[in-house]
Every structure is written in structure tokens, then in C-alpha cells.
């Protein structure tokens, strides 16, 4: 039994999960699994069902149909919950208490937590550890909550938008801790609006839209779902002319540079050089995760998030 | 990375419970909006009503009543505000949901908040006891102090449940207003600040609806003061309210994914769970209804009233409780049967119409003997706070003598005051008054219906005054408006 558990490779799983809120279907048969040792990023447009998926895995909500499992147990069982750490969105803690007190309290719920002072030191939040939570900045509050999430020495860590409100430096520090934790064998499920964050951290990305899984794989695999390329250049060829070329999908112009989206970069480049021998500053870029996301999901703005 | 992470030693779980209690207590201590009113208000009111006003009037009874009242007030606030306002706020801010996601031990949050509320009540009750003993110089027995303390500390629970229920219904912003809308009216309506006798009969009748009424009556009975309803009834009502509001609150919370008590629902067929839920609801409702219907019934006091020596103020000789006891009452039971057409009594000064004009009131009263019974009628005015009109009898009185010099009668060896009464259907009271005019008399309510009815008042019910020093027995009313009633065959045996 012990060995079987140690060898367990799927730590959390949703199978055909349906969840409706009134007439709105938040999840429509979502399949999702988090494997041991990986950092899975959950991405998708607003309202895609990311938060609902997390809620089901945490046992905060029950699927209408399908199943949610945590360590092969009911997510509401305390045994399963003792193996996870949680950082939720939209949680405001008591303004009169202090980060050190929050971390110590949360740590007390776990069988073998980290030492509170060690957590504070690891996150570099010594300066705010004994200040009232109510007086902290948004980013500092997220840091305190991150401390509460990791203090229980979790096997699986849920991070819901962990870096909202953090400055660049703090975000980098938090990313480093996340990478270290994965290195130490902790599995992480992360939802984020910053695709850059998913690209920087994720071993695997799960793209969710309309309550379903539309793609899952490494960042490269997701990108490969779209064969589009972006070409930027300075050319005398007008936007209207470019738009008329059959291989060109989209054209826009920004501060004197044309931006061309195409599935056939070679043809477009040949045509461009033929039409304007003086074309300068040519740059060809493979589609980013944001482009892939835009292509995979219904959200037209997803690309601009990057 | 194996199953050892699921196991947690008992001592660590215990430490987690303890840690949550400390956490909640620290949190509330650091919230002056909560800690100041809950701890200071009852003490402030007791100083005002119990110490300053009580001693200014040389009146131990008033201090005792204030002691009971503000003990209850001290038990209300931590429950109502601690559960109502804080829970609404924390629910709204997502804190409760977060606690569902982390492995908080079952029920720890609720337990911690309950203990926090109890500790606050313990502090205010203890402070009240100390003030009663050393500031108001009240003579409380150790048993009374201990009973007072535990009654209030446990008595916070129905208020926790009520607060919790409100906290699940309203937003954190609205909660303080809603809680105050409950807290202040029920304090008044169950007589924490004003004697119930000044309230209209309709409001007096519905007093058992308020949990404060039941806790107050329990406390009064323990202190040997006038009380209504039996202790069992009050305990039933408080228990019923606790279970009812608590289960309603849990139901509401579980609708939004918050399970404060247990982990996963441990199966059990749905119909059975329903049946259990309905059972709990039914039993709690039953207890509550029993309490509401029986919470106003006359009840014989079984304890002797604690008294106060005042605060060193000298009281006129004959009206102080240190005065010699009264003349032993004659063995003959009959006081008056009015058969000779007179309002004469077999001993003492006969019945005479009495009102509140001497105290500045505007009530009027007249009496006459009709068909061998004494008819008293008139109108109670509203000019003073405690108006009165009726008929009074001085058992050891002498004509033409000041109130202060009127003698006492010792009724301590008698058991029952009985009489027949009829009238306009209103409620009247019979009162026995001790040494000082401004003490709260021992009172017993009866209804004078259209038919003659026998009323028996066990003197135990009048034990809030000193039965060895009875100066006056009155029949009458404090309810403003016209009244008319007849009494006959007044006996004390």
C-alpha cells in the first residue's frame, strides 16, 4: 500500500467534470490531471472554467457529473488536504493579524510543516513578517499568502494567480522559489493571466476554453498547434497591397513598421523582397503562447495578454 | 512523499485546535470595535445602574437586579458580535473558503470562536462579580458568584448561534447594523434596562421570544430575585434556540461550499440524513416553543435574595434592614372578607385606596365595598416612571403615623397569601413591600376575569423581600389606563 502510494503518478484528477451555475455551464466535461513532479499551468480566457476546475479539485465545490479526485481520495477528505498547499485568489485575511501568525497557524494544520521562520527567510519577507496584514501592499499580501501555501511541506501546491500585484523583483524571487520547490519534488498546479509566467515555469500547459480541455502539452507543443509566424519590417509596400497577397492572414502597422501574420513565412518574404528591394529591419518570429492561445480559444484578446 | 503525510499525531491536532483558539482571541483583542463594547459596556452600565444609582437610593435590590441584567448583557455581545459581524465579514472576504481548502481540523474555527466568546464573557462576568462585591458591597454567596459566572459563560452559546445565523445571511457591511437591531431591542424587551412592569402587557407577554429573557430569568432565580418560568423551561428554550439557529446557519453555509464542522460527507443514504436533519430541526423547535409558551409562567423563587448593606450611607432606623423584625403575624388566617360592608381588616390598618400622587404621579383611584367584596377602580396616569393605583393594607400600621414609622409584620412563618378576584379582564398584581418605599416590592401578577377566581400566592414567590419585615400589602396595577377589579376573602396562612 505504501509503495503503491509512493509510486502514484497522478496526484489530482478531474474526469468528465460538469459544473453548472444556473444556466451557465462553467465546466462541460473537463478532463485534467496533475502528475507527480510537474508544474502544470492552467491557461484560458476569463470565464473558461479555470477557477471552477481548481474549486472542484480542492473540494470547495462538487461536480454535477463526473469526478474530482485528490491523491485518489475525495478532495474533501482531510488526509488528502494534508498533502496540499493552497494559495487562492480573492482571499482577504484579517487586517489585524501578521504574516508570521498566519503562516504559523496554517503550518499547525500539517503533519510535518516547515519552520515558520525558515519559510519567512526563504521568501525574504522578514521585514513584513511582524506587520499588520491590513497595512501591507497588494504584492506583500500575496507573498504572505504564498508563505501560507508552502509552509505545510505540500506534495501538491495550488497557486491561483500567485504574482498579481508583485513588482518585477518580487515576482522573480517567487518564481525562483517555485522552481526550487519543483526541483525538490513538489508538484504544482498554477493558473495565471501572465502567459510569460506559464512559459517561464510550466512543464506542461493545459488550455481550457468553454469548460473543456482544448489542448495540453509542453509550451513548445502548444505553440506548435499553430504554424503561424509573425513578420515585422519597414517597407514601402502599403498595408492594403500586403493584405491582398494570398499568403497573408493579417496586417497591421505600428510606428512605421508593418506586422504581418502568415502561415507561410517563406512565400511572403520572397514576395516582399521582390516588391520592395529596400525593405529593412526584417524580423520573423514563431507564434508565442499567446498567439497559440488566441488560435486555440475563442478569446480574441488572449494574444494581447502576453 | 508517501502516506505518512496523511497521518498526524494527536498532540499536533490538539495543538492546532489550541493555536486556532489563541489566534481568534488575539484577533478579537486587537479589534477594539469588538473588544471595547463587549467588555466595557456591561461594566459601565453596572456602575451607573447598580453602583451609583443603587447606592444613591440605599437600595440593595436595585444593585442585584442590575447585576443580573448586565451579566446577561455581557453574555450577549461577544456571541452576537463575535459570530455575527466577524463571520459575515470573513465569509465575504473568502477567509472561510480558504479554511476549507487547508487541512484545518474539523470544527476548529467554530470551536475557537466559541471559546473566544466564552473567554470574553468570563472576563466581563468576573469583573462584574468583583465590582458587585467591592464597589457595590453586595453580599453574594460563593455559590451565587460561581453560578452567575457559569450561567453567563455557557449562556453565550445561544447568542453565538443567533449571531452566526445572521452572519450567514447578511453582508459584512450590513451585519453590525442588523446585529444592533437585534441586540438593543431585545435587551429592552426582556427587561435588562427597565423593569418589565413598565412595558405594556402585550410586550411583556412576548418576552419569552427573546433568548435574553430566559437567561435573565435564570440568573434572577439564582440570585433570589423575582423571576418567572421554571429553570427547566428556560434551559429548554436556550438549548432549542442554540440548536435551531446553529443548524440553520450550517445549512446556509454548506450551500456555499463551507463545511465548518466535518470533512467529507461520510455517505449515509440521503433520506436518512434528511430524517436526521428534520429530527434536529423538530426537536429544537419543540424546545423553543416549550420555552416561549412556558417562559412567562409564575415561578416560585427558591433562593433567598442576596442583600446589600448599601455603601455606608445611613438609612433611617425603621426602614433599614437592620431594624428589628416585625411583630409575629396573628395565627388567624383571615385578613378581610368585607362582609360587613367595610374595608376593615382583622388586624392592622384596613384597606385604603392608594395611588402615586405622593410620588408626583397623576393616577386616581376609588374603592367601595359592593356585595361583600372590595371594588377598586380608577385610572393609572403616565406622569411618573412607575405609576400605581390600587388598594393597600398596613398589617402593623397605626393611623396618623409617617410611613417610616409604620411597623413591620413578620410573615416568615406563613405559607400562602390567597384571595378571590374578578374584574375587567386586565392583569393586576399583588405586592408586598418591605422597609423602604423605593425598594422594588415583591410582586405577583394575576388576571381579574369576569368570574370570581381563587388566587394562591406561595409566599416563597415573595421571597425577594424580607418576610420578617413586611410593611405593606397592595393590590393594584401599574398599567396606564382605566381599570376596575374586586377582591374578597384575603387570607394569609
What string of DSSP letters covers A246-289?
Answer: TTEEEEEEETTEEEEEES-HHHHHHHHHHH-TT-EEEEEEE--H
List residues of chain A with CB under 8 Å from any CB of chain B.
1-2, 5-6, 55, 58-61, 74, 76-84, 86, 88, 90-94, 96-97, 101, 104-106, 108-112, 148, 152-153, 155, 158, 185
Of A216 and B195, more confident: A216
Confidence band of B437 (pLDDT split at 50, 70, 90): low
Q: pLDDT at residue B356 above 90?
A: no
Partners of residue A21 in chain B, C-beta under 8 Å = none
Please indicate whether, in this complex, the C-beta atoms of B5 and A83 are within 8 angstroms of each other.
yes
Amino acid B307: pLDDT: 45
How many other C-beta atoms can be found within 10 angstroms of the C-beta atom of residue A254? 8
Confidence band of B308 (pLDDT split at 50, 70, 90): very low
Torsion sign over Cα B459, B464, B468, B472: negative
Partners of residue A113 in chain B, C-beta under 8 Å = none
Q: pLDDT at residue B7 above 80?
A: no
Amino acid A303: pLDDT: 41
Angle at which helices A138-150 and A116-123 pack, to 10 degrees?
Answer: 130
Of chain B, the percentage scoring pLDDT greater than 90 comes to: 30
pLDDT digits over B389-417, tens only? 999 988 888 777 777 777 888 888 888 89
In chain A, where do the E strands start and end? Answer: 10-21, 24-35, 39-43, 65-70, 84-87, 156-160, 187-191, 204-209, 212-217, 229-234, 248-254, 257-262, 280-286
Mean pLDDT of A112-126: 94
CA distance A127 to A108: 22
Q: What's the mean per-residue pLDDT of chain A? A: 87
- The residues pairing with B492 across neighbouring beta strands, listed in sequence order, are B417
Nearest to A83 among B6, B31, B101 (CB): B6
Amino acid B469: pLDDT: 81
Of chain A, the percentage scoring pLDDT greater than 90 comes to: 44
Amino acid B6: pLDDT: 56
**Mutate which of B101, B107, B257, B270 to disrupt the A interface (most A C-beta within 10 Å)?**
B101
**Mutate which of B6, B91, B106 to disrupt the A interface (most A C-beta within 10 Å)?**
B6
Partners of residue A19 in chain B, C-beta under 8 Å = none
How many other C-beta atoms can be found within 10 angstroms of the C-beta atom of residue A120? 24
Mean pLDDT of A107-118: 94
Amino acid B340: pLDDT: 85
Chain B closest-CA separation from residue A7 CA (Å): 9
Q: What is the largest CA-CA distance in chain B?
A: 101
How many other C-beta atoms can be found within 10 angstroms of the C-beta atom of residue A130? 11
Chain A closest-CA separation from residue B237 CA (Å): 35
List residues of chain B with CB under 8 Å from any CB of chain A.
1-9, 12, 15-16, 19-20, 23, 26-27, 30-31, 90, 93-95, 97-98, 100-106, 257, 259, 263-265
Chain B closest-CA separation from residue A296 CA (Å): 31
Please indicate whether, in this complex, the C-beta atoms of A108 and B264 are within 8 angstroms of each other.
no
End-to-end Cα spacing for chain A: 45
Stated pTM of the model: 0.69
Chain A closest-CA separation from residue B29 CA (Å): 10
Please indicate whether, in this complex, the C-beta atoms of A80 and B6 are within 8 angstroms of each other.
yes
Q: Answer yes or no: are the C-beta atoms of A23 and A79 closer than 8 Å.
A: no
Confidence band of A298 (pLDDT split at 50, 70, 90): low
For B67: left if phi > 0, alpha if psi spans -120 to 50, otherwise beta; the answer is alpha
Highest mean pLDDT among B98-102, B126-130, B382-386: B126-130
**Pick from B101, B220, B114, B115: nearest CA to B163:** B114
Mean pLDDT of B368-385: 88
Amino acid A264: pLDDT: 85
Of A158 and A227, more confident: A158
What Å distances lie between residue B401 and A27, A184, B354, B407, B468, CA to CA? 91, 98, 16, 10, 21
Unique residue bearing C-alpha cell 525558515: A118
Burial class of B57 by CB neighbour count within 10 A (0 to 12, 13 to 18, 19+): middle
How many other C-beta atoms can be found within 10 angstroms of the C-beta atom of residue A214? 17
The lowest-confidence range among A56-65, B13-22, B299-308 is B299-308
What Å distances lie between residue B95 and A63, A134, B13, B81, B160, CA to CA? 22, 14, 21, 17, 19
Q: pLDDT at residue B317 above 60?
A: no
Give SS3 for B288: helix
Mean pLDDT of A7-23: 87
Amino acid A41: pLDDT: 94
> Within 13 Å, how many C-alpha atoms sit on residue B309's CB side?
9
Partners of residue B103 in chain A, C-beta under 8 Å = 78, 81-82, 109-110, 152
Enumerate residues 6+ apart whose C-beta is below 8 A from B344. Answer: B336, B350
Burial class of A193 by CB neighbour count within 10 A (0 to 12, 13 to 18, 19+): middle
Amino acid B146: pLDDT: 94
Enumerate residues 6+ apart whose C-beta is below 8 A from B213. Answer: B189, B190, B191, B207, B295
Highest mean pLDDT among B163-177, B357-371, B457-471: B163-177
CA distance A94 to B95: 8
Mean pLDDT of B228-253: 88
**Pick from B477, B485, B486, B461: nearest CA to B197:** B477
Mean pLDDT of B206-214: 89
CA distance B342 to B95: 76
Burial class of B467 by CB neighbour count within 10 A (0 to 12, 13 to 18, 19+): buried
Mean pLDDT of A150-173: 91
CA dihedral A261, A263, A265, A266 (to 10 degrees): -160
Mean pLDDT of B430-437: 78
Instruction: Report how many Cβ contacts below 8 Å link chain A to chain B.
Output: 105
Q: Among all residues of chain B, which has the CA nearest to that of A57?
A: B101
What Å distances lie between residue B90 and A101, A162, B95, B116, B228, CA to CA? 17, 21, 5, 16, 39
Mean pLDDT of A171-191: 93
Amino acid A304: pLDDT: 38
Of A184 and B313, more confident: A184
Grid cell at residue B113: 470562536
Q: pLDDT at residue A12 above 90?
A: yes
- The DSSP-derived string for B180-247 is HHHHHHHHHHTTSSS-GGGS-HHHHHTGGGSHHHHHHHHHHHHTT---BS-HHHHHHHHHHHHHHHHH
Grid cell at residue A4: 503503491
Phi, psi angle pair for A102, to nearest 5°: -65, -45
Q: pLDDT at residue B313 above 50?
A: no
Amino acid at each position: 500500500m505504501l509503495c503503491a502510494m509512493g509510486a502514484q503518478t497522478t496526484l489530482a484528477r478531474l474526469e468528465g467534470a460538469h459544473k453548472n451555475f444556473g444556466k451557465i455551464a462553467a465546466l462541460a466535461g473537463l478532463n485534467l490531471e496533475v502528475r507527480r513532479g510537474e508544474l502544470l499551468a492552467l491557461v484560458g480566457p476569463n470565464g473558461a472554467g479555470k477557477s471552477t476546475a481548481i474549486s472542484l479539485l480542492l473540494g470547495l465545490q462538487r461536480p454535477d457529473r463526473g469526478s474530482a479526485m485528490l491523491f485518489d481520495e475525495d478532495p474533501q477528505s482531510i488526509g488528502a488536504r494534508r498533502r496540499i498547499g493552497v494559495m487562492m485568489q480573492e482571499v482577504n485575511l484579517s487586517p489585524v493579524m501578521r504574516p508570521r501568525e498566519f503562516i504559523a497557524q496554517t503550518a499547525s494544520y500539517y503533519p510535518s510543516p516547515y519552520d515558520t521562520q525558515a519559510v519567512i527567510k526563504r521568501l525574504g519577507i522578514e521585514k513584513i513578517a511582524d506587520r499588520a496584514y491590513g497595512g501591507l501592499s497588494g504584492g506583500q499580501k500575496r507573498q504572505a499568502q504564498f508563505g501560507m501555501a508552502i509552509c505545510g511541506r505540500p506534495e501538491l501546491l495550488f497557486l491561483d494567480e500567485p504574482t498579481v500585484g508583485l513588482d518585477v523583483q518580487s515576482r522573480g524571487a517567487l518564481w525562483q522559489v517555485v522552481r526550487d520547490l519543483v526541483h525538490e519534488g513538489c508538484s504544482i498546479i498554477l493558473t495565471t493571466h501572465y502567459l510569460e509566467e506559464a512559459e517561464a515555469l510550466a512543464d506542461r500547459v493545459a488550455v481550457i476554453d468553454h469548460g473543456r480541455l482544448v489542448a495540453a502539452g509542453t509550451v513548445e507543443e502548444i505553440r506548435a498547434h499553430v504554424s503561424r509566424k509573425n513578420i515585422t519590417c519597414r517597407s514601402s509596400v502599403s498595408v492594403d497591397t500586403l493584405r491582398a497577397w494570398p499568403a497573408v492572414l493579417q496586417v497591421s502597422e505600428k510606428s512605421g513598421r508593418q506586422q504581418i501574420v502568415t502561415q507561410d513565412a517563406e512565400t511572403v518574404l520572397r514576395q516582399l523582397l521582390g516588391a520592395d528591394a529596400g525593405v529593412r529591419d526584417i524580423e520573423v518570429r514563431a507564434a508565442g503562447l499567446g498567439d497559440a492561445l488566441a488560435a486555440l480559444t475563442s478569446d480574441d484578446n488572449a494574444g494581447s495578454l502576453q | 512523499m508517501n502516506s505518512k503525510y496523511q497521518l498526524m499525531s494527536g498532540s499536533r491536532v490538539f495543538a492546532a485546535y489550541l493555536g486556532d483558539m489563541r489566534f481568534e482571541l488575539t484577533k478579537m483583542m486587537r479589534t477594539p470595535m469588538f473588544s471595547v463594547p463587549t467588555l466595557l459596556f456591561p461594566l459601565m452600565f453596572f456602575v451607573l445602574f447598580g453602583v451609583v444609582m443603587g447606592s444613591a437610593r440605599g437600595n440593595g435590590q436595585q444593585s442585584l437586579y442590575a447585576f443580573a441584567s448586565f451579566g446577561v448583557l455581557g453574555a450577549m455581545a461577544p456571541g452576537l458580535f463575535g459570530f455575527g459581524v466577524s463571520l459575515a465579514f470573513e465569509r465575504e472576504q473568502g477567509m472561510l473558503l480558504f479554511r476549507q481548502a487547508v487541512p484545518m481540523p474539523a470544527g476548529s474555527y467554530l470551536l475557537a470562536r466559541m471559546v473566544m466568546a466564552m473567554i470574553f464573557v468570563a472576563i466581563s462576568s468576573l469583573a462584574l462579580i468583583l465590582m458587585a462585591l467591592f464597589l457595590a458591597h453586595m453580599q453574594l454567596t460563593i455559590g451565587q458568584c460561581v453560578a452567575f459566572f457559569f450561567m453567563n459563560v455557557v449562556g453565550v452559546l445561544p447568542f453565538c448561534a443567533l449571531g452566526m445565523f445572521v452572519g450567514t445571511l447578511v453582508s459584512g457591511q450590513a451585519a453590525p447594523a442588523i446585529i444592533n437591531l437585534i441586540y438593543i431591542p431585545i435587551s429592552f424587551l426582556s427587561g435588562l434596562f427597565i423593569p418589565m412592569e413598565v412595558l405594556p402587557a402585550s410586550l411583556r407577554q412576548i418576552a419569552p421570544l427573546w433568548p435574553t429573557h430566559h437567561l435573565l430569568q435564570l440568573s434572577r432565580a439564582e440570585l433570589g430575585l423575582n423571576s418567572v418560568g421554571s429553570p427547566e423551561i428556560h434551559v429548554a428554550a436556550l438549548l432549542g434556540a442554540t440548536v435551531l439557529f446553529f443548524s440553520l446557519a450550517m445549512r446556509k453555509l454548506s450551500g456555499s461550499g463551507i463545511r465548518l464542522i466535518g470533512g467529507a460527507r461520510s455517505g449515509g443514504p440521503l433520506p436518512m440524513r434528511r430524517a436526521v436533519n428534520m429530527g434536529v430541526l423538530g426537536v429544537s423547535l419543540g424546545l423553543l416553543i416549550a420555552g416561549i409558551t412556558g417562559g412567562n409562567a409564575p415561578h416560585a423563587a427558591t433562593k433567598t435574595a442576596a442583600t446589600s448593606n448599601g455603601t455606608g450611607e445611613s438609612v433611617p432606623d425603621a426602614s433599614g434592614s437592620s431594624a428589628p423584625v416585625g411583630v409575629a403575624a396573628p395565627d388567624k388566617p383571615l385578613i378581610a372578607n368585607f362582609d360587613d360592608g367595610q374595608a376593615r381588616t382583622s388586624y392592622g390598618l384596613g384597606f385604603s385606596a392608594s395611588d402615586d400622587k405622593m410620588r408626583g404621579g397623576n393616577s386616581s383611584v376609588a374603592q367601595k365595598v359592593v356585595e361583600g367584596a372590595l371594588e377598586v377602580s380608577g385610572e393609572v396616569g403616565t406622569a411618573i416612571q412607575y405609576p400605581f393605583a390600587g388598594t393597600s393594607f398596613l398589617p402593623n400600621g397605626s393611623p396618623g403615623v409617617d410611613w417610616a414609622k409604620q411597623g413591620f409584620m413578620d410573615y416568615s412563618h406563613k405559607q400562602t397569601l390567597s384571595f378571590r378576584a374578578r374584574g375587567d379582564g386586565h392583569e393586576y398584581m399583588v405586592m408586598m413591600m418591605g422597609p423602604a418605599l423605593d425598594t422594588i416590592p415583591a410582586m405577583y401578577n394575576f388576571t381579574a376575569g369576569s368570574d370570581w377566581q381563587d388566587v394562591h400566592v406561595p409566599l416563597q414567590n415573595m421571597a425577594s423581600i424580607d418576610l420578617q419585615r413586611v410593611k405593606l400589602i397592595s393590590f393594584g396595577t401599574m398599567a396606564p389606563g382605566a381599570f376596575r377589579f374586586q377582591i374578597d376573602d384575603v387570607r394569609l396562612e
